[in-house]
Structure 1
Amino acid sequence: MSVPISQVPAGPVPVPPSLRPVLARWGGPGADLPALPAVWVNAVGGTTFALRGPAGAVFCKWAPAGTALDLAAEARRSRWAAAWLPVPRVLATGADEHGSWLVSRALPGRSAVDPRWLARPQVAVPSLGRALRRWHDALPVRECPFDWSVPHRLARAVGDASALRTPPPVDRLVVCHGDACSPNTLLGEDGAATGWVDLSALGVGDRWADLAVATVSLDWNYGPGWQPVFLDAYGVAADPVRTAYYRALWDVGP
């Protein structure tokens, strides 16, 4: 799998002009400046700004027009999942010809790739395994209106998926997170999961679609050797066939 380039930016990020009124509304005085500190920039051009204003601590996600980020889809999925698990509460959404935005209330905890947790993988990694199992056990497959099955994903693939037309049999159908990389789980001061973010691909699929991505993400963020610890905490044995298949499927368009 290719290494992601999503990351915490090194300094202030220019604010798109059409986003400035949104930031001013939710962030209070000074939030419509030409540049603001951002907490995350992702591989396809999206940016997340942290704000504190009249509504308290909120995040504003921005997706430039023409990118693959679908913030309206994320808003729908967040509203659905909120009945069962702590996910961002959607406060506002919008779009214009320049891009789209999603404002949500901040959750407690820090990303699992916060420096505190990068320095303590022996705590963070098993917590991530338990968190993903909690996610898969909590969300009801029969009530989920969203799809993340192999046929659905192959139909949207942006790379050569010809070798992926025959997937392995489904191990267990769950409501997948859809981007179970380490940064998208928040951990509290005791190391336990406090919430999940970035739900734009949430949908029903084989649990190995999440597990394959979650485990390789550990290498990117904590270094090699942690995948068995994660799987043990989740409560499943390694499955090299399904892992290889779903990592290859991720590479042609998650």
Structure 2
Amino acid sequence: MSIPTPDLVVPDRVRELAGGAALEPLWANAIGGLTFRTDDGRVIKWGPHDDEANMRDEAERMRWARRWITVPEVLEQGQDAEQEWLVTVELAGRSAVDPRWLSDPEKAVRAVGEGLRMLHDALPLDECPWDWSVSRRLDGAASRGTVVSDELRTPPPAERLVVCHGDACVPNTLLDAEGRPFAHVDLAALGVADRWADIAVASMSTTWNFGPGWDDALIEAYGVDPDRERLAYYRRLWNET
């Protein structure tokens, strides 16, 4: 993800959804998706269809998860032949890669680790209807025509099954004004899996956002010792699928 420039061309559908509200661009992703904040307290996500994670799934999972954790309230979700969109209530927190937290990586990294542990402990495994297992992810990759290494077809045994975030990269944790974990966003892949599937990606993403040397700090804040075998496996799975 990147922060778009202020002169970004706003898609017509986003303007329709905003009504008369002013728009502030927040994020642009690799496939052309955009996220905006409105001045009347909403967030609008828009983008082309994504074979890997769609906004319909994201809305469904947020409605389920918000019974136990803080996630955005869904106001509207829709799609047509070319595009999809999601409108939510804006939360008070700011992304862990907000400029405020980029200048204080130690606090931000620890908060993301603590927040991920809170999510894993709070969401009820037995009530989750979605699967994010290795087999499901490999099947999804195959359906998209993605070829993965043979070694990835034999994962390490699950250490602890939890309801995983599914995209636990640093930007998807929101922090409060004091730098504490506040909420989670981008839950389109949420589902049951080994907790190391999330821990591996969250810790790996610290390098992308804060530079090298922070991955073990996130794992420490989560509350476990690094499992190098599972970290290596799930990072490679993420990169190949």
TM-score of the superposition, structure 1-length normalised?
0.89
Name which of structure 1's ranges 236-245 and 62-71 shifts more when overlaid on structure 2.
62-71
Q: Aligned residue for 1:227? A: 215
Q: Aligned residue for 1:241? A: 229
Q: CA deviation at 1:171?
A: 0.6
- 1:14–1:69 CA distance, 2 compared to 1 (3 A): farther
* Residues 112-191 of structure 1 mapped to structure 2, 5 A cutoff: 112-157=96-141, 158-191=146-179
TM-score of the superposition, structure 2-length normalised?
0.94
Q: Tell me which amino acid in the other structure corresponds to 2:232.
A: A
Secondary structure of 1:22 counterpart: helix
Is residue 186–residue 196 contact of structure 1 (8 Å, CA) maintained in 2?
Answer: yes
* Residues 74-85 of structure 1 mapped to structure 2, 5 A cutoff: 74-85=58-69
Q: CA deviation at 1:66?
A: 5.6
Q: Aligned residue for 1:11? A: 6
Secondary structure of 1:13 counterpart: coil
- 1:243–1:66 CA distance, 2 compared to 1 (3 A): closer
Unaligned runs of 5+ in 2: none
Q: Give 2:30's match in structure 1, choosing from 43, 52, 69.
A: 43
Q: Give 2:192's match in structure 1, choosing from 177, 186, 204.
A: 204
Unaligned runs of 5+ in 1: 1-5
**Root-mean-square deviation (Å):** 1.4
Q: CA deviation at 1:95?
A: 1.2
Is residue 107–residue 194 contact of structure 1 (8 Å, CA) maintained in 2?
Answer: no
* Residues 35-114 of structure 1 mapped to structure 2, 5 A cutoff: 37-53=24-40, 57-65=41-49, 68-114=52-98
Is residue 148–residue 178 contact of structure 1 (8 Å, CA) maintained in 2?
Answer: yes
Q: Aligned residue for 1:217? A: 205
Is residue 18–residue 98 contact of structure 1 (8 Å, CA) maintained in 2?
Answer: no
Is residue 46–residue 61 contact of structure 1 (8 Å, CA) maintained in 2?
Answer: yes
Q: Tell me which amino acid in the other structure corresponds to 1:39.
A: L
Q: Tell me which amino acid in the other structure corresponds to 2:28.
A: V
Is residue 175–residue 202 contact of structure 1 (8 Å, CA) maintained in 2?
Answer: yes
Q: Give 1:192's match in structure 2, choosing from 180, 183, 186.
A: 180
Q: CA deviation at 1:120?
A: 0.6
Is residue 90–residue 105 contact of structure 1 (8 Å, CA) maintained in 2?
Answer: yes
Identical-residue share of aligned pairs (%): 51
Is residue 44–residue 67 contact of structure 1 (8 Å, CA) maintained in 2?
Answer: no
Q: Aligned residue for 1:3? A: none
Secondary structure of 2:100 counterpart: helix
Is residue 181–residue 214 contact of structure 1 (8 Å, CA) maintained in 2?
Answer: yes
- 1:232–1:105 CA distance, 2 compared to 1 (3 A): same
Q: CA deviation at 1:67?
A: 5.5
Structure 1, residues 50-102: CA drift from partner, whole Å, max 9, x if none?
1123xxx1101012136644000000000000000000100001111220100
Structure 1, residues 124-171: CA drift from partner, whole Å, max 9, x if none?
111111111101000011000011001100001123242211000001
- 1:169–1:66 CA distance, 2 compared to 1 (3 A): closer
Name which of structure 1's ranges 98-107 and 224-233 shifts more when overlaid on structure 2.
224-233
Secondary structure of 1:198 counterpart: coil
